[in-house]
Amino acid sequence: MDTIINDKDFELLHQDKYTFLVLDRILRNTTDLILTDHKNMIICHSNAAYPVWIWTRNNCPETVKEEVWKLICKHRPLDKGFKFNIKYELADYFIEKAEQSGFHAAISMGLFAYDCQSAVKPEKPSDGKLYCCTPEDMEEAVSLVSAFYPETGQEKPSYEHCLEVAQKHIDDKALFFWKNDEEITTACCYYNRDPELSSISGVYTKPEYRRKHYAQHLVHEVTEIIQAEGSTPMLYTDADYAASNACYTKIGYTLRGRLCTVAATSQG
């Protein structure tokens, strides 16, 4: 087992380029844990605020699943609070092994991966306009980035982490607000620029401004910016959040892949 990524690993991830785009990006940056055999599995944990990502081949043999299980028991035990973004077949295996080990695990979230080949203008109008954030907007951006995590069932990360995220995307001119006609910030999102697939993330609408189509118009306009740069926009959604999925399909997004988050849970 190696702790250093090479070109072969990125070739493997390209087989699941939509569902594992985030893992590809994480591996190109600093991480806490990398384990790979350059053939059947890649295990990566960026830091404590996030789930552990595990890539395996489709229909991988039981021997590979067993080896992955042993590795996570050693390095990031499921019963110690770590969560895992994995394919459904590996999720089923983890849940079964957890039961055999005397504790319970379950899928805490299903994830859909979408891309958009051609943006479609939202049918329902909305007031306001897109606003590209500047350094002067840093504190508000940090607040909205922080608010996004609990909305998706994640623990709220530290202020320093949210500041880092906001700083990076503001510097990249890739963090946006949607301001209504009163110049009030109602929603936000950012994207990670890539020549092939640019992922939109952190889509968040303040509770008091929901159901006014602000997020849909925000994502639509950011989608058009990405396409104008020559890249394909993509994003992840909660598979169980029907309203969110409908929002994106209506503006041209197509489902391309599925994965899930597995976590330990109490019985019953």
110-135 confidence digits (pLDDT tens) = 999 999 999 999 999 999 999 999 99
Q: Give me the pLDDT at residue 73, please.
A: 97
Domains defined along the chain, listed by start: 7-111 (no CATH), 118-251 (3.40.630.30)
Burial of residue 190 (CB within 10 Å: 0-12, 13-18, 19+) is buried
CA–CA separation, 206 and 148 (whole Å): 9
What is the SS3 assignment for 55? strand
What is the residue-wise DSSP string for 63-115?
Answer: HHHHHHHHHHHHHS-GGGT--EEE-HHHHHHHHHHHHHTTSEEEEEEEEEEEE
CA–CA separation, 167 and 142 (whole Å): 9
What predicted TM-score, i.e. pTM, was given to this entire model?
0.85
Residues paired with residue 233 on neighbouring β-strands, in sequence order = 198
Q: Give me the pLDDT at residue 224, please.
A: 98
- Phi and psi at 92, nearest 5°, equal -60, -40
CA–CA separation, 62 and 111 (whole Å): 24
Q: Give me the pLDDT at residue 135, please.
A: 98
